[in-house]
Protein backbone atom coordinates (compact mmCIF):
# COMPACT_ATOMS: atom_id res chain seq x y z
CA UNK A 1 0.00 0.00 0.00
CA UNK A 2 1.21 3.55 -0.65
CA UNK A 3 0.00 6.97 0.37
CA UNK A 4 0.19 10.42 -1.12
CA UNK A 5 0.57 13.02 1.59
CA UNK A 6 -1.61 16.06 1.13
CA UNK A 7 0.00 19.44 1.66
CA UNK A 8 -1.62 22.83 2.11
CA UNK A 9 -0.43 24.38 -1.16
CA UNK A 10 -1.93 23.55 -4.57
CA UNK A 11 0.46 21.44 -6.60
CA UNK A 12 2.38 20.27 -3.54
CA UNK A 13 2.34 16.93 -1.80
CA UNK A 14 3.61 16.54 1.71
CA UNK A 15 5.94 19.16 3.11
CA UNK A 16 8.19 19.77 0.14
CA UNK A 17 7.50 17.74 -2.99
CA UNK A 18 5.92 19.59 -5.92
CA UNK A 19 3.47 17.77 -8.14
CA UNK A 20 3.95 18.08 -11.89
CA UNK A 21 1.32 20.36 -13.42
CA UNK A 22 -0.24 17.50 -15.42
CA UNK A 23 -0.81 15.58 -12.15
CA UNK A 24 -2.45 18.66 -10.67
CA UNK A 25 -4.77 18.88 -13.72
CA UNK A 26 -5.61 15.18 -13.41
CA UNK A 27 -6.54 15.38 -9.72
CA UNK A 28 -8.63 18.54 -10.30
CA UNK A 29 -10.54 16.79 -13.09
CA UNK A 30 -10.98 13.73 -10.89
CA UNK A 31 -12.30 15.93 -8.07
CA UNK A 32 -14.83 17.50 -10.44
CA UNK A 33 -15.89 14.05 -11.63
CA UNK A 34 -16.36 12.83 -8.06
CA UNK A 35 -18.38 15.96 -7.20
CA UNK A 36 -20.65 15.28 -10.19
CA UNK A 37 -21.31 11.71 -9.01
CA UNK A 38 -22.27 13.08 -5.59
CA UNK A 39 -24.53 15.83 -6.91
CA UNK A 40 -26.21 13.50 -9.45
CA UNK A 41 -27.30 11.45 -6.47
CA UNK A 42 -28.49 14.61 -4.69
CA UNK A 43 -26.08 14.06 -1.80
CA UNK A 44 -24.49 16.85 0.19
CA UNK A 45 -20.92 16.77 1.42
CA UNK A 46 -22.37 16.24 4.89
CA UNK A 47 -24.20 13.14 3.57
CA UNK A 48 -20.79 11.62 2.89
CA UNK A 49 -20.25 11.31 6.67
CA UNK A 50 -22.67 8.37 6.74
CA UNK A 51 -20.54 6.77 4.02
CA UNK A 52 -17.39 6.92 6.12
CA UNK A 53 -15.83 10.22 4.98
CA UNK A 54 -15.32 13.34 7.04
CA UNK A 55 -16.66 16.52 5.50
CA UNK A 56 -13.15 18.03 5.40
CA UNK A 57 -11.71 14.95 3.68
CA UNK A 58 -14.52 15.00 1.14
CA UNK A 59 -13.95 18.71 0.47
CA UNK A 60 -10.28 18.00 -0.19
CA UNK A 61 -11.15 15.16 -2.57
CA UNK A 62 -13.53 17.36 -4.56
CA UNK A 63 -11.00 20.21 -4.56
CA UNK A 64 -8.63 17.94 -6.46
CA UNK A 65 -6.14 17.09 -3.76
CA UNK A 66 -4.22 13.84 -4.35
CA UNK A 67 -5.86 10.80 -2.78
CA UNK A 68 -4.76 7.29 -1.90
CA UNK A 69 -5.76 4.20 -3.83
CA UNK A 70 -7.69 3.10 -0.75
CA UNK A 71 -9.75 6.29 -0.88
CA UNK A 72 -10.39 5.80 -4.59
CA UNK A 73 -11.64 2.28 -3.93
CA UNK A 74 -13.92 3.58 -1.16
CA UNK A 75 -15.31 6.22 -3.53
CA UNK A 76 -16.00 3.56 -6.17
CA UNK A 77 -17.73 1.40 -3.58
CA UNK A 78 -19.79 4.37 -2.36
CA UNK A 79 -21.08 5.17 -5.85
CA UNK A 80 -21.14 1.55 -7.12
CA UNK A 81 -18.53 2.30 -9.80
CA UNK A 82 -15.46 0.56 -11.14
CA UNK A 83 -12.10 2.32 -11.22
CA UNK A 84 -12.37 2.24 -15.01
CA UNK A 85 -15.65 4.17 -14.86
CA UNK A 86 -14.22 6.69 -12.40
CA UNK A 87 -11.13 7.34 -14.56
CA UNK A 88 -12.80 7.12 -17.99
CA UNK A 89 -11.70 10.00 -20.20
CA UNK A 90 -9.37 11.58 -17.64
CA UNK A 91 -6.10 10.28 -19.11
CA UNK A 92 -5.66 13.30 -21.40
CA UNK A 93 -5.06 15.40 -18.27
CA UNK A 94 -1.90 13.37 -17.65
CA UNK A 95 -0.27 14.48 -20.90
CA UNK A 96 2.48 16.99 -20.48
CA UNK A 97 2.11 20.31 -22.21
CA UNK A 98 4.97 22.21 -23.71
CA UNK A 99 6.95 24.08 -21.11
CA UNK A 100 6.07 21.74 -18.23
Per-residue pLDDT of 57-80, as tens digits, reads: 999 999 999 999 999 999 999 999
Domain boundaries along the sequence of the chain: 39-95
In angstroms, rounded to a whole number, what is the distance separating the alpha carbons of residues 7 and 15? 6
- DSSP secondary structure, 26-63, as one string: HHHHHHHHHHHHHHHTT--TGGGGGGT--HHHHHHHHT
Place 18 in a pLDDT band, splitting at 50, 70 and 90. confident
Tell me, what's the pLDDT at 91?
A: 86
Tell me, what's the pLDDT at 100?
A: 64
Amino acid sequence: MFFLLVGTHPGRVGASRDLPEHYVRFFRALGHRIRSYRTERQLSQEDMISRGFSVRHWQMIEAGRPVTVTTLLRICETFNLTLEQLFAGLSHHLRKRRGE
